[in-house]
Structure 1
Amino acid sequence: MKMLTMIIADDEPFIRRSLIQVFKWPEEFGIEIIGEASDGQEAYELCMELKPDILFTDIMMPFLNGLQVAEKLKAADCPTKIIVISGAQDFAYVQNAMKVNAEGYILKPVKLDEVRELFTKVTARIHHERDNRLNLEHLKKQLQDHMPLMREKFLQNLIAGLYRNEQEIWDKIRYFALPFRQGDPLMAGVLELDDYQGAVAKFSEEYKQLLYFSIGNIIDECLEAHPCAVSFVASENMFIMLFCLPEGPAAASLTSLCGQIISGIREYLRLDASIGLGRVCSLVGQIEDSYKEALSALAYKFYTGHASVLYINDIQPETKTLQSTFFYTFHARMMNELKAGQTDNVLELLDTLFARLSEPRLQIGYVQSICAEMIFTSARTLYEIDEDIEAVLKDRMTIMDTLYAQRNLTQLKAYMLELFRNLSTYVAGKNTSKNSRSINRIKTIIQEGYARELSITKIAEEVYLTPNYISLLFKKETGETITDYITCIRMDKAKELLLATDLKVMEISERVGYENPHYFSTVFKKTTGVHPLKFRTGRDTPS
C-alpha cells in the first residue's frame, strides 16, 4: 500500500518535535512526514507545493491561523485532509473547523489514544477514497476503450427505434461526439451487397470479415466528402449511413456520393452493391422511418438491377402510397408465416393488406405491382426451402397475365387469397414430416459438434436451408432458439467434465467450444447461477 504523506504545523518547535516523535508514523499509520511549518503562511505554501495527504496543524499560529490555512487550501482545490489541534478555550474555532471540511480535531492537552484513534480513521478514509478514485479512473479508461462499440450500439438502437425522447437522443449524440446539429434534417441510407450469398459463399470466415472491414473503410473514405455523416454496420450485409443535411435535402449530391461508394466497392473488391435512401426527417427520433424506407427502396433493385442507388421518393412518389414502415413490417411477417405454413395467419395478413390497398387514392397499377412483388418474393423465399414449390406456382408470365386481368380490387383480392392459400397449404403439408427431420438433424449436428466453432450459418449449410429459416423453424418446433440449445448442450457437457475430471476451467472451456475462458465462466454462471469452480466444489461438499 502506498505510503501517505503529512506536514506538521505548529509555531512552537518543541511541540512540533513532540508530535513528530510521539509515534512511529510509518510503521503504525503508514505515514511519512515530509515537512514542518512554523506558521500558517508556511504551512499553506508547503501544502500547495508538496500536496501532502494530511496537514496536522495547530489552530493558533502567526500570519494565518489553522482555519485560515484550511479555507485557503479549500479555495485552491487542494485535496489535503486537515486535522487541527485546539485548546479547550478555542472550542468555537473547532465548530468552524467542521465548516472547512477538517477531518477532525484534537483538544489540548493531547491524549495519545485519541490521536491514534483519529489517525486510524482518517488514514482508512484516505485509502478508501484513493481506491475509489483508482477504480473510477479504471472504469473511465474501460469506458473510453469501449467507446467505438458503445457508439455503434447506440446507432443500432437509434435506427431500431428504441429511443422516443428527442432530448435524450441528442444528449447521447453529443456524448458520442456525432457530427449532427440539432435542428438540421437527417436522412438514412442502407448499403447491401447484391447477390450476397453468391458473392461470399466461396470465402472463408476470415476473408468475409476482411471484406466487411474493407467495405466499411471504402464507405468512410467516401463520406469524408460529406462531413456531417456517419456509417456503421447493422449486420453482415447491412451497412447503415446517416446523413445530416444542414443546407436542405440535396438528393442529387447524395446520389452522386452513393454512386462513388458503389464504384469504389466495384473497383477495389470486384463486387456489386446497391444503396437505398429514405426520406428526410426533421426529428432525429424519426430516423427509424427513414431507415426502413431505405430498406424498402432497396427491395426495388429487383427491377433496377445491380449497383443501383434507389431513393424512396423516386420509387414511391408523393401521390398516395402505402406507408413504407407498414409494408416493411407486413412483408417480413408474411414471409415468416408463409414459411411456417400458417395458412390462417397468411390469409389474415392478406386481409389486412387489402384493407390498406382499398383506399381510393391508390391507383390500380400501384396495387397490382404490390401484389406482383408479394408473389415473386414469396416464390423466391419458398424456393430456398423447397425446390418443388414451382409445382404449385405457374410460370411467371401466366401469373402476371392472370394478375393484371383482375380489373377491380374484389377480384384481385380473391385471386391473391386463393394463390396464397394454396402456397401455405402446400408448405404446411411439407413441413409436417420435413420439420421433424430437420430439427433432429440440427440437434445431432449440435450434439456432435458443440466442441468446435458452431454458428447458425454453418448449421444451415449442413442442412441445406437458410439461417433465418432454421432459426424460425427450430424456435417454432422446440420453443427455444438454436443459440440457447447450443449453450444448453455445452453447459451440460461442462458440468459433466467439472464433476468427473480434474481438468482446469480453461481446458473445459476449450473442450465445450469456448475460446475465451472468462466468457465461458460468465455464460456458465448465468446458466447455473454459480461459477464453474464453485459448481465443482459445491457438488463435492456433503449437504
Structure 2
Amino acid sequence: MRLVLVDDEKGIVDGLKIMISRYIPECEIVGAAYNGLEGFKLIQKLQPDIVITDIRMPQSDGLDMIKMLKDAGTKTKFILLSGYADFEYARRGIQLGVQFYINKPVEEEELRDCVIQVMGAIRADRAKLREVDELKQEVHSRMQESALRDVLDLSSDNTLMEELLRHAGIPTAGASFACVLLEFDGNVDALKEFGLQPVFHHIDRALGQYRGVYRFRYSGAQVAVVVTQGGAIGYADLVRSVQRLKEEIYRELKLSMSVGIGTIQKQAAGISQSFEEARYALSFKVIKGADTVIPFPEITNLTGRRHPVSEEMITRLEAGLDNMDEMECVGIIGEIFRGMEAEPSMGPADLQLQCLNILLSSVRKMSFQQLQQNDFLGRHILSLEGISRFRTLVSLEEWMVQVIRRIIAFKLEHNIPKKKDIISEVKEYVSTHYNEPITLADLAARFFISPYYLSQFFKQKTGDTYVNFLTQIRIGKAKELLEKTDLKVYEICQLVGYSDTQHFARLFEKLTGCKPREYRKNLPNV
C-alpha cells in the first residue's frame, strides 16, 4: 500500500516514517507534506492508498484538505492524527467519511492496528469494484454474444446488421471480416469439466494479430469466431493461424476439433455469408474426416467440377428422402448411375467424386447431431475411405443404395416425420417461445435440419430472415404489453426476450417509428 504523511511537525513525520517502516512493512511511504495546501497538491499528484494527516496545520487544516480532495474525486483513505479531544473535529471528519483516528502521542501498536484496518477496508473496496467490473463484463459479453448470434444468422439486411454490430461494440468502418466455426470431436467431457475459458484463451492468443477476435459457444460443442481487421486479412495467414490453434488446443488441452473457415468479406453485410461458408465447409468433415481444418475455397474447388448429376435429380432424391420412400430413392439412384454410364470419360476418381456430391445432397438437411448418433452413417459411410473401396459403377451403385436405406432407417428409428411444412412449424414455435433465447442453431437441432439449410430455406419461403421474423414477433408482443399493461419498459424488454433496454428501444423505434415510452404516451385514452 502507498502512504503519504501530512503534519506540520517534522519530528512527528520522521517518527511515523520509522514506526511504519519497522512495524508495517506492507506500506511504502511515497511522500510527506507539512501543511494542508502542500498535502493537497502532493496527494493529487501521487494518488496514494492511505494518508495519515494531522488536523491542525497552518494555511489549511487536515479537514479542509480532505474536503478539497473529496471534491476533486480522490479515493484515498484517511487517518486523522490529533492530540485534541474535540467533538467538533470528530463530527466534521465523520461527515467527510473519515472512519479512522489516532491520538497523539502515537503508540506503535495503535498505529499498526489502525493502518491494518484501513488496508482491510481498501482491499474490501477493491474486491467489490472487481465484482462490479466482472459483472459489467459478463453483461457486456452476453449482450455482445446475443448481438453476434443475430449477425451470424442474418442474410443481408445492411441496416439491421450495422445496428447489431454497433450494439456488439464491433467497429465496421474500413474493416475486413472472416468467420471460423470450431467443432470439438469425440468425447468432450474434458470440455465440460474446465469450460470454454481455456479454449477462448488459446483462440485469443493464436489470433492475436487481428484487431478484433470475438468468440462464443455457438451450439453444443461448437464455438463461433468472428475475426476483424482494420485493413485486409490475408486468407492464407488466417488458415495457418487456425491450423496452429487446432494443434495447440490438442497439445495443451487434449481436445481434437474440426474447423470450417469462411472467406474474407470487406463489408459488414458479408459476415453472415462468411459464417454460412464456415458452417458449410465444416459439414464436409463427414467427407474429409474429423480433426481437420477445412477452408471454404477447398470445398468450392471440390464441388465446382462438372456434374453429370442434374440438380433436378438431386431435388427428386431429397424429396424421396423427406418422404422416406425407399423405392423412389432406389429408382432415382439407378437413374443417376445410368447417366454416369453415358459418360465414357469418367474415371474411378470422377465416379467417387460424384458419389460424394450425391451423399452431401442426401445429408445436407441433417444436423451433425443426427449423423453422430448413427455409427454407420457417421464413421463408416460418410468418409473418403468408405468411398475409395469401390471403383466400379456396379459396386458404387450398390453402396449408394445401402447408404440411402440406412438414412431412411435412421429417420424411422428416430421418429423423424415425413416431409412437412417445416417453416410453418418453425414460425409457430418462435411465436410461442419468442421470450426465450432462441438461436438458429437451437431451432435447427429441434427440427432435425442443418442450420445452413434452415437459414436458406427460411429466407426462400418467407422472403425474410429468421432474425427479422423473430424481431417482428417480439416487438409486436411489446406493443401489446405497452397497450394493455402498466409494466415498465425494462420489464417489457425482459418479457419479450431482450436483456438490453437500449437495444430493445432502438429496435422498437426502427419498426414503429417511435420509442416505447412515446408509443404508450400516444395511445388513445379509453
**More relative contact order in 1 or in 2 (CA 8 Å, sep 6+)?**
2
What's the TM-score, normalizing by structure 1?
0.40
Rg comparison, structure with higher value: 1
